[in-house]
Amino acid sequence: MKVVTDARELPSACAFVPTMGALHAGHASLFKLAKKYSADVVASIFVNPLQFESEEDLSTYPRTPEIDIEIAASSGVTHLWLPMQAEIYPEGFRKLFAGPMGERYEGKSRAGHFDGVLTVVGRLFDLVQPKLAIFGEKDFQQLQLIKTIAGDVEIVTAPTIREADGVAMSSRNTRLTPEGRVAAQVVYKALSQSKSEVELREILATEPAFTLDYADYIDENTFLHAQADTRAVRAIVAGWINGVRLIDNVPMGMRA
């Protein structure tokens, strides 16, 4: 694996997996999937300041550079790109806006978050020029919004990778206390066992350590509230444990 800091050293028409580091088995699954599409697998690590709500949240985001290099190298990455902020955001760069879909649910709770996500992904695509990019379903609203700006870049969707107890893998999980980590199991329990929005919220309410932000059934193509005739329904949940934000979702046609 080659570690580079300049996008001009990257292979063209690669399979691309953008990340913010703090890599784990979920990221490794994306890298391995990318290898099935291309001999050249580029992963980037860039903690994007534009998508954080506060300086505190940005400063506490986990950073594990030595582990990141080890995971990337062992999971099929051929080029690990560690860009500097000046390369991503040169003077006069163009900011993208997520629009109405980006103002719902996660976007409503985190004003400007998806504008920051789309801006950085747009810049990464411009610099890398990949033939395809891989994103996981865990950040489902993000995934759907990225599809709207992808242009000629094919977006490959990868399933959420979970721990044995059902908790969705996330870099933020490392900030949970041991008790909080156990409490986090309620999220997937609610998603996988509920048969209505009311039941979804009732199961979440059984865990006192979980502070609810939203729990809903939505049309996964529009992120509007699901109606009786909605064909692609997805259950989505977000909240906090130990001050750590947790988000998750499942397609209703594939519940456990």
What is the maximum span of the chain, computed from C-alpha positions, in angstroms? 52
CA 88, 145, 114, 64 torsion-angle sign: negative
Dist CA 236 CA 225 (whole Å): 11
Dist CA 228 CA 106 (whole Å): 23
In the three-class reduction of DSSP (H, G, I as helix; E, B as strand; rest coil), residue 36 is classed as coil
Q: Which of 45, 92, 35 is nearest to 66 (CA)?
A: 45
CA 129, 130, 136, 137 torsion-angle sign: positive
Q: Does the annotation mark 27 as catalytic?
A: yes
DSSP label of 54:
S
Catalytic, out of 24, 27, 79, 113: 27
User: Which of the residues are catalytic?
Assistant: 27
